[in-house]
Amino acid sequence: GRQGAMPAWGAVLGEEGVRDVTSYVRTLSGQESDADAAARGKTQFQALCTACHGVDGKGMLALGAPNLTDNTWLYGGSFEDIAHTIRSGRNGVMPAHKDLLSQDKVQLIAAYVYSLSNK
C-alpha cells in the first residue's frame, strides 16, 4: 500500500495565490490559462511545489507526487478541481493487497499497470 499527502496551501497562498498557482499548473499540461496569473503562479510553484512535483512538474513517484504535465488527474483537471487540491490538500490511500492476491497475480497486475505508462 501507499499513502500520498498533498498539503493544503490555501492559508499560505491566499485565494489569489491559489488561483495563480492553479493557472500555472494548468499550463504544465497544455491547458489554457490566464498568462499573467500563470506567470505569478510559476514563482509560487517554484517556491512551494517543486520539492515534490519537481521543477518540470513531472512528479516524483517515490513520494506519490503525480506528474502534472500529462492529462491524468487523480481528482479532476478542471480549474476548480485543481484549485481545491491546492487550497485544501488531498490525502490519497492505496490499500495494501498483499493478503488478497497471490504473488503471481501481483506480478501480472504490476506488469499491466506498467504497460499503461508506456503508451
Q: Can you tell me the distance from the alpha carbon of 68 to that of 80, in angstroms, rounded to the nearest whole number?
A: 15
pTM of the model: 0.77
Q: Are 19 and 38 in contact (CB under 8 A)?
A: no
Q: How far is CA 52 from CA 81, 99, 109, 115, in A?
A: 19, 30, 26, 24
pLDDT tens, residue by residue, 53-69: 999 999 998 888 899 99
Residue with cell 491547458: 31
What does the pLDDT read at residue 74?
Answer: 86
Q: Can you tell me the distance from the alpha carbon of 55 to that of 25, in angstroms, rounded to the nearest whole number?
A: 12
Task: Count CB neighbours of 22 within 10 A.
Answer: 26
Residue 1 binned pLDDT confidence (cut-offs 50, 70, 90): low
Q: Are 44 and 17 in contact (CB under 8 A)?
A: yes
Assess if CATH 1.10.760.10 describes domain 2-116: yes
CA end-to-end span of the chain:
25
Task: Count CB neighbours of 88 within 10 A.
Answer: 13
